[in-house]
Amino acid sequence: MENGKKRPGFEVRGIIPAVITPLTPEGRFNEQAMRKLINYLIDGGVHGLFVVGTTGEFYGLTPEEKQEILRVTIDETKGRVPVYAGTNGITTRESVMLTQLAEDCGVDAVSVLTPMFITPNQSQLIDHFKTIAANTSLPVVLYNNPPKTGVNLAASTVAKLAEVPNIVSIKDSSGDLTLTAEYIRLTQGRKDFNVLVGRDTLIYGALCYGAAGSIASCANVAPRLCADIYEKFMAGDLKGSLEAQFTLAPLRLAFTNGTFPAVIKEALTLLGIEAGPCMDPVGPMTDAERENLRQVLIHMGLIR
């Protein structure tokens, strides 16, 4: 397929966990733990897997490690759900390289975060993402996370980028539902462009505006609950969807305990799912923080 062309038959939708990268105590990728986690998530009803993203600690992985994680994920997933790869770089050159690496591994789509550390203007961001899209045949999901990068994709910028055939979606982790709604409003003319929300407390609200789903960190821990928000909403059970959203909210709000993504990894450990430590310098939660998290999981009905 020619670069920059949309891959037919691919639709971004549903609940897509931003999958952690399980590590050994020595800080190396734990393949067996990853394989078990993938099956836990798929059995929980998720609609895709997003690996080596922010929750997956992409910033601490070498290209070789990312390649290994992608190959293991694709092998274990066996086509049951689409696999999205984070191909985030500070420079356009780096993002193009990682996107092509992911395409060579056989992923279904890539998600590309805005550059971090530097602060390109909106015109430069348009050029950045257009260049990445032109150098791959994969569907591209834009990724807006200004709390982490200090760079925000304006709604008008996303509207322009939505005109590129293989830019098919945006994940918005701004936490600003007005901005998410503007992304949806301004891209309505492109029927095959969908908006995903990246703030787990806003899944229901974004669906009400017309979002197609969520890339959700909390779906690592509670995949069935997150999937219920989406599936009940799509089935017209708005009350059930909202109840699932309210049940999930305390877990996302607990992210303030510890340093991200420690809460997700430690919650999985409390559930008996091997996750390992975070990459240094992110350390473990304190005993008090861990007990608070345990109480959240008990109240959610995830552990006794």
Ligand-binding annotation for 215, yes or no, is yes
- Angstrom CA distances, 244 to 49, 127, 255, 304, stand at 21, 40, 18, 19
For residues 241 and 247, give the distance between their C-alpha atoms in angstroms, rounded to a whole number: 10
For residues 106 and 226, give the distance between their C-alpha atoms in angstroms, rounded to a whole number: 27
Of 6, 160, 171, 232, which one is the catalytic site residue? 171
Q: Which residues contact 142 (CB under 8 A, 6 or more apart)?
A: 111, 112, 129, 153, 158, 161, 167, 169, 170, 171
Of 84, 143, 183, 204, which one is the catalytic site residue? 143
CA angle 93, 102, 82 (to 5 degrees): 135
Q: How far apart are the first and last CA of the chain?
A: 51
* Alpha-carbon radius of gyration of the chain: 18
Ligand-binding annotation for 55, yes or no, is yes
Q: Helix crossing, 92-105 with 122-134: angle to 10°?
A: 30
**Is 6 assigned a catalytic role?**
no
**Is 160 assigned a catalytic role?**
no
Binding residues for pyruvate: 55, 215
Which residue numbers are catalytic?
Answer: 143, 171
**Residues within the annotated binding site?**
55, 215
